[in-house]
Homo-oligomer: A and B are copies of this chain.
């Protein structure tokens, strides 16, 4: 199944419209190409509807948002919904400021998302309407562990039921859930949190996966999360003592570039609850 998810991205080469922050935008573009998709970045109100219409999927990331781009997110999102294009939401920093929380909630209210991907604090903020986020990182108090895993799985399923979106909560253990099933994924490496934007990159790649696999949003999102985590493992195994987070960033994108469906199947480490 995972195999097909990856292969469909490489086969269909979906063009993904990204309205995303300027911090990690280059990495988002390169990882989209690495996984087999094609990126276009456009955030002006005068072109976002049109750009969305020539694409097959949309990735909305609220990092470094402003009033101009928030409006563009709404315009593009509505148009993508009309066209039945998959839309992914990355609520970067929801909980860290009222603007981010309210924007994420407004997007959630006005748009239909295929996948919502964030860290546990961001997703909790969306679910409860308020929250605490340590900047753009998850609050330690929220951390997903083996002890609270069932509880978080239940939370993710409930939030999926409420929103109709696949919920991807990423961290030490990743949870990708619809209302019925949750992939609990143990791929990845702790050092991935030393790179800015692995979450943003994953959201962009998730948009590519769900776009190329329109009938399987849960499996597609899970495959993207597994691919990212496994790339983090493969990339880490290449590092020398002198390498740090910058080389690691490059190697993760490289690993996505070189990942085959066989590798993904072999490297996947998950259970469905």
Residues of A within 8 A of B (CB): 15, 21-27, 29-30, 33-34, 38-44, 46-47, 50-51, 54-55, 63-68, 93, 96-100, 134-137, 194-197, 234, 238, 241-247, 249-258
Q: Report how many copies the assembly holds.
A: 3
Residue of B27, B96, B244 touching A26 (CB-CB under 8 A): B27
Chain B residues with CB under 8 A of A137: 38
State the CA gap A39–B195 with chains docked (Å): 11
State the CA gap A67–B18 with chains docked (Å): 19
- Give, as a whole number of angstroms, the nearest-CB distance from A45 to chain B: 8
- Asked if residues B134 and A30 are in contact (CB atoms below 8 Å), the reply is no
| Contacts A96-B54, A99-B47, A197-B26; A242 near B246 (Cβ below 8 A) | no
| Contacts A15-B134, A247-B254, A253-B244; A97 near B64 (Cβ below 8 A) | no
- Asked if residues A135 and B38 are in contact (CB atoms below 8 Å), the reply is yes
- Asked if residues B43 and A64 are in contact (CB atoms below 8 Å), the reply is yes
- Asked if residues A245 and B33 are in contact (CB atoms below 8 Å), the reply is yes
Chain B residues with CB under 8 A of A39: 135-136, 196
| Contacts A96-B54, A195-B33, A245-B30; A23 near B46 (Cβ below 8 A) | no
Closest Cβ neighbor of A66 among chain B residues = B44
List 30 contacting pairs A-B, 8 Å CB cutoff, sorted by A: A15-B134, A26-B27, A26-B197, A30-B249, A33-B194, A33-B195, A33-B245, A38-B137, A40-B93, A40-B135, A41-B63, A41-B64, A42-B97, A43-B64, A44-B66, A44-B99, A47-B98, A47-B100, A50-B96, A51-B96, A51-B97, A51-B135, A54-B134, A234-B242, A242-B251, A244-B253, A245-B254, A246-B252, A246-B253, A246-B254
Chain B residues with CB under 8 A of A68: 66
State the CA gap A33–B11 with chains docked (Å): 36
Chain B residues with CB under 8 A of A21: 41
State the CA gap A195–B38 with chains docked (Å): 10
Closest Cβ neighbor of A95 among chain B residues = B54
Closest Cβ neighbor of A40 among chain B residues = B135
State the CA gap A54–B34 with chains docked (Å): 35
- Asked if residues B238 and A256 are in contact (CB atoms below 8 Å), the reply is no
- Give, as a whole number of angstroms, the nearest-CB distance from A196 to chain B: 4
